[in-house]
């Protein structure tokens, strides 16, 4: 006769495993759609409504082959945490691209942790605590259990180039590293093109220096094209 205590312990372990499994790829309502919140894996992106934007961006992104080869050489001992929001356009764009680069670089996804957050950049499990997740997506790179750097919201040059700088321990500062670049991005997004077009000539005198700094820190990213539009608006004042 088998030991009833042993059976009971096995049942507890089984229920615990099932509970943990159920906590992956959990969705919750957000406005008129659903979002993922908490631990996730790549299978979660194949659910509706996420598969449409994920597969489109994944398929359309062209990985730089020569740079992915360099990434492959340097990524073996690296672990990565990805914090992203399925509600966030930046996450919808950059996360599939980032995943495609990792796949092409032969990255072991056992070393990748995918965490989806709500609009407050939080999870029910508190997985974001003490990690300073202010913007998403945030890709955190670890070596020997310690963070070596991160990419925040968008790359400075390109995802591949930024990753190589991080992996080869070169000087790299993400877009929100200092207060000036943080101010620059929030300044632009908060005011918007319409507000900029209504600036008085007196106030507009402050903008050329800002634009120069903004171009130096953010211009090489996908948002850099916007500075051309700001210059165009200034020429019309």
Cα–Cα distance between 156 and 149 in angstroms, integer? 13
- Residue 109 to residue 75: CA distance in whole angstroms: 11
- Nearest in space to 140 (alpha carbons), one of 193, 83, 97: 83
The domains of the chain, with CATH numbers, are 23-167 (3.40.30.10), 179-236 (no CATH)
Tens of pLDDT, residues 165-174:
999 999 999 9
Distances (CA, A) of 58 to 33, 45, 46, 129, 141: 21, 11, 12, 29, 21
What gap in Å lies between CA 29 and CA 86, rounded to an integer? 12
Q: Is the pLDDT of residue 20 over 80?
A: no
The tens digit of pLDDT for each residue in 94-122 reads 999 999 999 999 999 999 999 999 999 99
pLDDT at 141 over 80: yes
pLDDT tier at 214, thresholds 50, 70, 90:
low
């Amino acid at each position: 006769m088998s030991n009833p205590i042993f059976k009971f312990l096995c049942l507890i372990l089984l229920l615990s495993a099932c509970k943990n499994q159920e906590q992956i790829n959990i969705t919750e309502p957000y406005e008129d759609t659903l979002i993922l919140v908490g631990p996730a894996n790549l299978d979660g992106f194949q659910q509706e409504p996420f598969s449409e934007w994920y597969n489109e961006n994944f398929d359309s992104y062209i990985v730089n082959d020569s740079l992915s080869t360099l990434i492959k050489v340097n990524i073996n001992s690296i672990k990565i945490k990805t914090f992203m929001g399925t509600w966030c356009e930046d996450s919808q764009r950059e996360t599939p691209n980032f995943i495609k680069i990792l796949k092409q670089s032969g990255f072991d996804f056992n070393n990748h942790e995918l965490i989806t957050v709500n609009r407050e950049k939080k999870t029910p499990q508190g997985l974001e605590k003490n990690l300073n997740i202010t913007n998403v997506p945030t890709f955190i790179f670890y070596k020997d259990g310690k963070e070596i750097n991160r990419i925040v919201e968008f790359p400075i040059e390109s995802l591949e180039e930024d990753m190589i700088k991080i992996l080869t321990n070169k000087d790299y500062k993400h877009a929100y590293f200092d207060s000036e670049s943080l101010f620059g991005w929030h300044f632009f997004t908060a005011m918007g093109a319409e507000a900029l077009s209504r600036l008085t000539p007196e106030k507009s005198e402050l903008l050329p220096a800002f634009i120069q700094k903004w171009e130096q820190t953010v211009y090489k990213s996908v948002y850099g094209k916007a500075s051309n539009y700001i210059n165009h608006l200034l020429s019309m004042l």
